[in-house]
Structure 1
Amino acid sequence: MAVPVNKSQRIPRWYFGGVASAMAACCTHPLDLLKVHMQTQQGKKSLFFMAKKLFKSDGVLGFYNGLSASVLRQLTYSMTRFAVYDVGRKSRTKDGRNMPFYEKVALAGTAGAMGGFVGTPADLVNVRMQNDVKLAPEQRRGYKNGFDGLYRVFRQEGVAKMFSGATMATSRAVCVTGGIATFLTMPLDVMKTRMMNAPPGTYKSILACAKDIAVNGPMGFFKGFMPAFVRLGPHTVLTFMFLEQIRMNFGDDPPAAAGT
């Protein structure tokens, strides 16, 4: 007679984290979009002003511009980050070994760096699709979806452009964790967004991008802070809520249960 399986003991698969993050992104995408709009605009305009302007021009659906690219980013960036950390943790804790704190930090940083790099092309397309509505009709890129955007960037601008802003994205991914990280990584996030959204040849280096942002003073490096900060909490909570449900309903049974 089969023994009923305790769902709470089921083991997650390596890709569950990426799926859960993609589901959370569907809920928090409007805040991410407003963050990008604030980061790419010159001058000082409030979050309320940007939201009102977007609603008037594109309605409610305007807040979901670039959603396919946002999901694709989570399925590359977050999936890699969760997978690398999970595989590394299992490797370092086999035979009942406990990981010391410094190993956890090092592994988390490595996983974040790899995820940030792998997710850069989708992040670039995500930024462009979110910002398209702000441009004049003749200047819009008009990507149909995330995959179409990746293909067109590859074909029209080359592989190197697909990884524009990779340094900033990787550095940010290493650092970002918790509310204080939003403040610490905001300058990196602003520069990443600017470099990804800029036409080819706009910035010759990271320093050139930083100088352009600094024209409006040091606060230019913190544009979009409020929507980024407000988004981080719900996104993190929703990710782990979805992850827990996916694990309990679709995870692998423990070895003892699987063998009964």
Structure 2
Amino acid sequence: MELMLGGVAAVGAGFFSNPLEVVKIRMQLQGELQAKGNYSVHYKNVFHAAYTIGARDGLVALQKGLVPALWYQWVMNGTRLGLYHLGDELGLTRNKDGHTNVFRSAAVASAAGIVAGVVGSPLFLVKTQLQSRANDSSIAVGQQHKHTRMIPAFREIYRKFGVLGFWRGTTGSLPRLVVASAVQIPTFEKTLELVKSKNLFKEGSFMNPFCASMIAGLFVSFAMAPFDLMSTRFYNQGVDANGRGLLYKNLLDCGVKIYKKEGPRGFFKGWTANYFRLGPHTLLSLVFWEQLRFYYHEYELEHPKLAKWSLHH
């Protein structure tokens, strides 16, 4: 049930944050491996990027890749949040006194993030490629893939590279997921614990997870920005006939090339879009998750027999 609750929460958040994901990816790919001043700046900032995409590609383009994005949220975050909760239930994240231990919590969250990242990688691959594709070639950035929908994209990848082709780029995304999970969930749990201990709001109030989510979103957006950019570059790059990347061999090679060509600031391209996306997404997903858990536990208390039946069916 925790897997399902986590997945539903992430899907709800993903619907609202997907336009910012599209903007973020376009900004991260802009000027790929080019020094500042040597490329056209189509997207000046997050607001200009959103306006440009809407004006040139159409408003619907701001929801590109929505289907695989929502499936990815369901699979990845459902697995990640669900596994973390299971670890919490087993006492792996807490001290003997029952309080959250930051280091143990981060370790459990990172492990859950790795598993979830591997499971959801094919959906992330297709999502990234669909979101990076511009309808108007004059604002295109990065590698432009031909597929325009999820199922045809999977078919094309399978036809060219087989089953293993679905997991291309996974090694580039794992550090991103480890950092995001290690920072996001423990920060949220610890802050939520603190907010509740101060009795600022009543039990079950929306404001408890709201305050905790705002802090968690701030920390995770800063910590994962470079890893998120490299992950986007990894998944979107073109490949040769054998499925090997044309630009980056591995994560280290990716990092070195970005540093040499784009400088340290290159790692933070799209950081503002990432923050505006992660803030609301972290807020919505964790708030939805906390509220769904609260209402489900209320349901269990009121209908113990039905709740027990639902766990086994």
Q: TM tier, shorter chain?
A: 0.7 to 0.9
CA distance in 2, matches of 1:144, 1:252: 40
Aligned pair count reads: 245
Residue identity (%):
30
CA distance in 1, matches of 2:168, 2:12: 26
Q: Does 1:27 align with 2:66?
A: no
Matches within 5 A, 1:1-260: 13-42=2-31, 43=39, 44=41, 45-47=43-45, 48-92=47-91, 98=98, 101=101, 102-133=103-134, 136=137, 140-145=145-150, 147-176=151-180, 177=184, 178=216, 179-200=218-239, 201-202=245-246, 203-214=248-259, 215-247=261-293, 253-254=299-300, 258=304
Q: CA deviation at 1:54?
A: 0.9
CA distance in 2, matches of 1:124, 1:52: 25
Query: Are the structure 2 counterparts of residues 246 and 151 from structure 1 closer, same or farther at C-alpha, using a change threshold of 3 Å?
Result: farther
CA distance in 2, matches of 1:257, 1:142: 48
* 5+ residue gaps, structure 2: 32-38, 185-215, 240-244, 307-313
Query: Are the structure 2 counterparts of residues 57 and 91 from structure 1 closer, same or farther at C-alpha, using a change threshold of 3 Å?
Result: same
TM-score (structure 2 length as normaliser): 0.69
1:172/1:188 contact within 8 Å kept: yes
Amino acid in structure 1 at the alignment position of 2:227: L
1:29/1:63 contact within 8 Å kept: yes
CA distance in 2, matches of 1:244, 1:88: 16
CA distance in 2, matches of 1:259, 1:195: 48
Query: Are the structure 2 counterparts of residues 109 and 206 from structure 1 closer, same or farther at C-alpha, using a change threshold of 3 Å?
Result: closer
CA distance in 2, matches of 1:248, 1:194: 39
Partner of 1:7: none
Query: Are the structure 2 counterparts of residues 180 and 134 from structure 1 closer, same or farther at C-alpha, using a change threshold of 3 Å?
Result: farther
1:85/1:107 contact within 8 Å kept: yes
TM-score (structure 1 length as normaliser): 0.82
Amino acid in structure 1 at the alignment position of 2:169: G
1:39/1:190 contact within 8 Å kept: yes
1:115/1:170 contact within 8 Å kept: no
Query: Are the structure 2 counterparts of residues 259 and 55 from structure 1 closer, same or farther at C-alpha, using a change threshold of 3 Å?
Result: closer
Q: CA deviation at 1:141?
A: 1.8
Q: CA deviation at 1:173?
A: 1.3
Give the superposed CA RMSD: 2.8
